[in-house]
Amino acid sequence: MSHFEQKNTMQQSVDENSQLKAQLKQLLSNAHENQLKLKRFEQIEFKLMAAESIEQLLVIIRDEYTSLFKLDDCALLLEDENLSLRRLIPDGLQNTPNDHFLTLLNFPVELEKLHYLPTELMTGFYHSNHHQWLMNNPHIESIAVMPLMRHGRKIGVFCCGSYDRTRFQAHAACDFLQRLSFIMAVCIENALNLERLKLSSMTDALTQVHNRRFFDQRLPQELSRNDRALTAISCLFLDIDHFKQVNDTYGHGVGDDVLCQVAQRIQTGLRTHDILARYGGEEFAVLLPDTSNDEAMMVAQRIIDAVNKDRIVIDKNVILTITISAGVSTLMTDDTMIDDTRSDSLNDIKSLGMKLLSTADEALYDAKKQGRNRAINAGLLALIDSVECSQKFQC
């Protein structure tokens, strides 16, 4: 072998060694990057599995996952054909003008689109004509679409978006995302089931409105919120007139039907954030946040009219005219009412809530005495009564 050939052979060997070193360095770099990525995925997975409520879970997905993986946008779409999720997920997390993170799908065309999505992870360039219904962001360049599958059924889809066109390349190996989509689906399903259990314990089994336990828990919460907002809060106490006669004449089965239909008619006269509960027997309580005394009286009259406007039809042989009576009370808070720094503040708020409710109950009693089928206004809860208790509930 000539000197020139030996030199070429040595140079080739050097070049091959350099290439091998470069490849090894790249492999080590990729391994290190994958290790870091795995740690990030494990970190978010542990947080998802440790979430104690659907609200906490969704906040982790929306905020922490987006931040940890430096995503430019993300969107979660959940199937809600029977509109049940709207009762389980806090209003503040549902689709709002300034936050399009969560969308609950219930229209047939939306459900059909969800149904026809592939069941496997999809990555690639963002195309508005294909992806706009999933993520409506004109700045997105690449997208990862992660179907959320449970028991062979698609319960939703989670989408990750990037302004980098190469971030989510088509057909890229995305084992981490595939695993995350599975864990996310399991956690969402479990969190929703937990919320359903909580809701069932707070729901009247017969009328399907809230029960007394729920009302008693929410009353002090709403009083505290209204106090911070310095707004009025009103309470209605309602009772079906002559309900005992219905049970005695037609039996408890008919009485149950009457309760259900009356509850529905009451609900139609309320806003979505008003709180209706079956308080006991044929009695219902309604909490009206941010509602003045005059407004509360209008709501009470609207409910009375809704109940007695049309007769209640049980069957062709039982058609009843049902009326209802109401008592109304209102609390107008100001900055002298509740001091959150006091150790006994919670007890004070609970006491005030019971007074608001009992005042409405007393007005209801007056409505019964005055002939039923009417609303009696107890007016504003006398603030002087609260202030006289040695300033801020020290009575």
Residues forming the active site = 282
3-class state of residue 155 by DSSP: strand
Q: How many angstroms separate the CA atoms of 173 and 190, rounded?
A: 28
Tell the residue number behind the tokens 């879970």, with chain if given: 57
Nearest to 324 by CA among 235, 258, 237, 240: 240
Nearest to 389 by CA among 357, 342, 320, 321: 342
Q: What is the per-residue burial (b if ≥16 Cβ within 10 Å, else e) of 176-195? A: bbeebbbebbebbebbbebb
Provide the pairing of β-strand 122-125 with 142-150.
antiparallel
- CA geometry: angle 78, 178, 90, nearest 5 deg: 25
Tell the residue number behind the tokens 């039907």, with chain if given: 257
Specify which residues 319 forms β-bridges with. Answer: 313
3-class state of residue 47 by DSSP: helix
